[in-house]
Amino acid sequence: MESSPFDAWITNDDELVSLLGQEWQRQTSTLQLIASENFASPAVMAATGSVLTNKYAEGYPGRRYYGGNQIVDEVEDLARRRLTALFGADHANVQPHSGANANVAVYQALLETGDTILAMRLDQGGHLTHGSPASMTSKAWHFVSYGVTPRNDDPENPGEHIDFDNVRDLALEHRPKLIVAGATAYARRIDPAPFREIADEVGALLMFDSAHVAGLIAGGAHPNPVPYADVVTFTTHKTLRGPRGGAILARAEYAKKIDSAVFPGQQGGPLENTIAAKAVSFREAALPSFSTYAEQIVANARAFATALADHGFRLVSGGTENHMVLLDLRDFDAELTGKEAQEVLDRAGITTNRNTIPDDPRSPFITSGLRVGTAAQTTAGMREREFTQVADLMARALRGRADEATVSAVRADVAELCASFNPYATFVR
Ligand code: DSN
């Protein structure tokens, strides 16, 4: 079996080498359509596996609790400088281990326990840390949730867009101390300006969770929330195409509080190897080629959505303006659940995730929806033509799901398509 070139140093651990080789095969011979995933560059992966993994560095540059951090300080400063320049922000914290940590750190920095936060409900497209009952955030703070407008079968006005009247009414009624903009399963562009207006009207702070669209913002394909929001959080591994991790941008007046909430408030020693990899990705995202990439992600998603709609899938919110398409499966097949679709597509070599859709009658474990994204396969070089083919393959597998031969035939076609689009071949040294 072909193995990943990045595993060359793991020579005496057959079990792990075998597993890494299998995952390399899976990633390069099947379609990666999970909207929150991407293929990081070899440079990002090399930095993640660098000598910096060996260093303890609790604290911040110039103020560490351990010796030997002169170079680590420069690495973290480099990441912070590149990040503030990329988004035009006053201050950056690059230490959050994840987007969830980043969000909780912001709540901790700006609020007292029990304060009210207005955020998007999970089943309407929000994130777990936007106050889901399953998240500790809902126990520490009082969440009020907004959602999307009702579904409408008029293609000119499809509904399922953020309901700004609802946001404003709830803000006026509950007077939140913080409003959270941003989503995890929402295919439309999120304009930060109306959120700022509402926040100003009720005297609230504004946090923009740009986890999914950070790369689209960096590439200029989506509006930058930094001039509008007091704080912006994001993950570095989705459209931004960096290592797995989180980051926070803040106005200067909140910098100290944010830093203290991340460390020592939330975390211990930062992962300086990951921070170095973040620095690599911030440099990559500032290149002109990244803007081309961001535009292509969006164009691919549009073509993908059109082709999926042609196959009878209903597009939640009527289409897409970002990297993802949220499908309501019920119009395609009333019996087909998100869980079954995900499992069938896995067997066909197409990796997706089931997702609740607004007002989903099924549970979050079963769901009526499926979420797909274009960021990863766009990195691999796929364009509108290939995404139209991918929609055909998905429809074929799901329609023929009772017949294993059909699913296997789709898997073979997927492997053939993937053979021409190796994700790592696109990165030039
Ligand atoms: N909500 C996850 C996703 O979008 O896949 C990330 O936290």
pLDDT tens, position by position, 12-24: 788 998 998 899 9
Burial readout 8-30 (b: 16 or more C-beta within 10 A, e: otherwise):
eeeeeeeeebeebeeebeebbbb
pLDDT tier at 93, thresholds 50, 70, 90: very high
Indicate the average pLDDT of the chain.
96
**Domain contains 22:** no
81 and 177 both lie in a single domain: yes
Find out whether 190 and 181 touch, Cβ atoms under 8 Å. Answer: yes
Asked if 26 is an active-site residue, the reply is no
**Domain contains 335:** yes
- Domain end, chosen from 220, 253, 285, is at 285
Find out whether 37 and 23 touch, Cβ atoms under 8 Å. Answer: no
pLDDT score at 426: 73
Tell me: the pLDDT tens digits for 193-223?
A: 999 999 999 999 999 999 999 999 999 999 9
CA atoms within 13 A on the CB side of 426: 18
pLDDT more than 90, % of the chain: 92
Q: Is the pLDDT confidence value at 6 over 90?
A: no
111 and 203 both lie in a single domain: yes
Cα 351 to Cα 394: distance, rounded to the nearest angstrom: 10
Q: What is the atom index within ligand 1 of the atom nearest the CA of 36? A: 5
Pocket of ligand 1 from Cβ distances under 6 Å: 36, 99, 127, 184
pLDDT score at 104: 98
- Please enumerate in sequence order all residues whose Cβ is within 8 A of that of 272, keeping only pairs 6 or more positions apart, or say none: 52, 53, 55, 57, 72, 75, 76
**Domain contains 271:** yes
Backbone angles phi, psi at 207, to 5 degrees: -115, 135
Catalytic choice (80, 82, 244, 354): 244
- Please enumerate in sequence order all residues whose Cβ is within 8 A of that of 227, keeping only pairs 6 or more positions apart, or say none: 88, 192
- Residue 156, number of CB atoms within 10 A of its CB: 6
- How far from chain centre, in Å, is Cα 365? 20
Lowest-pLDDT range of 147-161, 226-240, 404-418: 147-161
89 and 136 both lie in a single domain: yes
**Domain contains 156:** yes
243 and 379 both lie in a single domain: no
- How far from chain centre, in Å, is Cα 270? 21
pLDDT tier at 9, thresholds 50, 70, 90: low
CA of 67 to the centre of ligand 1 (A): 36
Q: Is the pLDDT confidence value at 7 over 90?
A: no
CA of 8 to the centre of ligand 1 (A): 31
- Please enumerate in sequence order all residues whose Cβ is within 8 A of that of 401, keeping only pairs 6 or more positions apart, or say none: 336, 340, 344, 407
Q: Name the amino acid, one letter, at 19.
A: L
**Nearest residue (CA) to ligand 1, atom 3:** 36
Q: Is the pLDDT confidence value at 1 over 70?
A: no
253 and 199 both lie in a single domain: yes
pLDDT score at 112: 98
pLDDT tier at 179, thresholds 50, 70, 90: very high
pLDDT tier at 3, thresholds 50, 70, 90: low
Parent domain of 332? 288-427
Q: In a 3-state reduction of DSSP, which class is residue 415? A: helix
| 10's tokens | 């793991």
**Domain contains 183:** yes
Asked if 15 is an active-site residue, the reply is no
With residue 409 as reference, give the H or E element that holds it: helix 404-419
Asked if 283 is an active-site residue, the reply is no
- Residue 81, number of CB atoms within 10 A of its CB: 13
Tell me: the pLDDT tens digits for 284-304?
A: 999 999 999 999 999 999 999
- Domain end, chosen from 245, 270, 285, is at 285
250 and 331 both lie in a single domain: no
Cα 358 to Cα 161: distance, rounded to the nearest angstrom: 10
Cα 398 to Cα 348: distance, rounded to the nearest angstrom: 9
Q: Domain count of the chain?
A: 2
274 and 348 both lie in a single domain: no
- Domain end, chosen from 270, 285, 300, is at 285
315 and 209 both lie in a single domain: no
**Domain contains 79:** yes
pLDDT score at 322: 98
Pocket test for ligand 1, best of 34, 36, 37 (most atoms within 8 A of CB): 36
Tell me: the pLDDT tens digits for 385-422?
A: 999 999 999 999 999 999 999 999 999 999 999 999 98
227 and 136 both lie in a single domain: yes
- Residue 203, number of CB atoms within 10 A of its CB: 10
218 and 144 both lie in a single domain: yes
CA distances from 289 to 89, 211, 286, 294, 296 (A): 22, 21, 8, 9, 11
> Across residues 380-386, what is the average pLDDT?
98
> Across residues 55-77, what is the average pLDDT?
98
Residue 372 pairs in a beta bridge with: 325
54 and 106 both lie in a single domain: yes
Q: Can you give the CATH number for the domain in which 339 is found? A: 3.90.1150.10
**Nearest residue (CA) to ligand 1, atom 5:** 36
Q: Is the pLDDT confidence value at 428 over 70?
A: no
- Please enumerate in sequence order all residues whose Cβ is within 8 A of that of 96, keeping only pairs 6 or more positions apart, or say none: 102, 105, 233, 245, 246, 247, 248, 262, 266, 267
Q: Name the amino acid, one letter, at 138.
A: S
**Domain contains 12:** no
Q: Is the pLDDT confidence value at 256 over 70?
A: yes
Name all contacts of 311-314 with Cβ < 8 Å and 24+ positions apart. Answer: 311/391, 311/392, 311/394, 311/395, 312/395, 313/395
Cα 225 to Cα 206: distance, rounded to the nearest angstrom: 10
Q: Name the amino acid, one letter, at 155.
A: P
The distance in angstroms from the start CA to the end CA of the chain is 25
> Across residues 173-196, what is the average pLDDT?
98
Cα 78 to Cα 278: distance, rounded to the nearest angstrom: 10
pLDDT score at 312: 98
Asked if 60 is an active-site residue, the reply is no
Q: Can you give the CATH number for the domain in which 278 is found? A: 3.40.640.10
pLDDT score at 154: 86
